[in-house]
Structure 1
């Protein structure tokens, strides 16, 4: 058993393990602690989102829905390997599960797999997993056909290892949702024994520190809100955004970019959203907080 990591400690652990982290606005105080306990913690549960598109999946996991308010996990692992932090504290991700599984996770004494679960949310004797586990939701349709890119699997390995290393746990402290509840099938598309083998190998060696101190992090423009990007808006922020879009190979500009929001800006930003993996209505060309954070628009006074 362990005391949950602070927000700063979690970010530091993930980055030390080589994880690319995006901090969703408000994640550090976003939790369900008023509903029940958070901690002591005993492990990590890996899920799939049954959704597509990074931005839509992150927003879903941050906000939740009427029957299950957010956060629905602590971090969302996108297909490009980026980990988007959406919650810090108790999250609605694990639900009720098997007390025998929990005992073996705490002891870290099982073989290839923990014992098959016999409990689920609402069943008599189920244990509250939301109090005991960190949760990572991985963007995937969960149909067994949606691919798991190498970058995403690497991020699952690294993020899980980061939490384990911070707490002094082994890879047996990482389980899939299907190993916790007899109602669940996630994650589908890779096996947890294979993932634990990867995590164990990573934990067998210390993270490699950078060769030299990294340069100071540049200041990036905070997300000004979707309503900012409207016809008639004139701002140096739009120029800075356009230059970043050009640098990312997402230009639909005939001339420019310039400070006034135009259709060329919208089409250029839509190209950026598609580059991030968004499709359909998720790639409408109107900036959202996740895609904006990924663009790293330089700060404009």
Structure 2
């Protein structure tokens, strides 16, 4: 509901048809994609007590879960670039981030996620699985599946680590560099009021980055380095990784982004007025 509200507000309000809000709508779409991908197996497990999933269906779910996660990372990098241009070079903002370049950037991180993940299910199909194929989560993740293999899966481990480094790793470094440049520019502003105003435009994006990268880091560390972690820790981190960002991202952006907040408040007031009038 929260992500759908953001998409509706951006779609209906022409003043929000800007690169920043286009990237925000892409973030909402990726959050919706994560929920739509994971929800079927979660509901099947908790509503119908059905603990089984077909191997091929599991691979498809795994593929799309990781695609939407990588899309989120690419979107957050794009939003960091948007904030960097808006603060460091505002006069050229519309020339650099026009509708054409925005679409190209979006197609770039979507294509990257699709292409780099193609080898993952192909290599998993070559593995042998014996007995006790019990997943750690209510959905399928790459490190969780290969952990169950009774054949050599070093190539799969190497592939997973490589994909994380060239996507989430590179993105996080570039986001950090963007904020170093932003901070350098902001500190050069003479007025303290203007410095606070400039930094305030980055608060919601920083929160979104932390909401995505901290759970991701936690899940990756548990699966790859903490082999004997209690099962409950893996379960909790898995749900935090996939369900917390889609829930909190709309809350953060609706509170911090004045234009979206005003748009939603206006629609809410109109509905109350019509209800009273009737």
**TM-score bracket relative to the smaller structure:** under 0.3
Greater share of residues in strand = 1
Q: TM-score, normalised by structure 1?
A: 0.24
Q: TM-score, normalised by structure 2?
A: 0.25
Greater share of residues in helix = 2
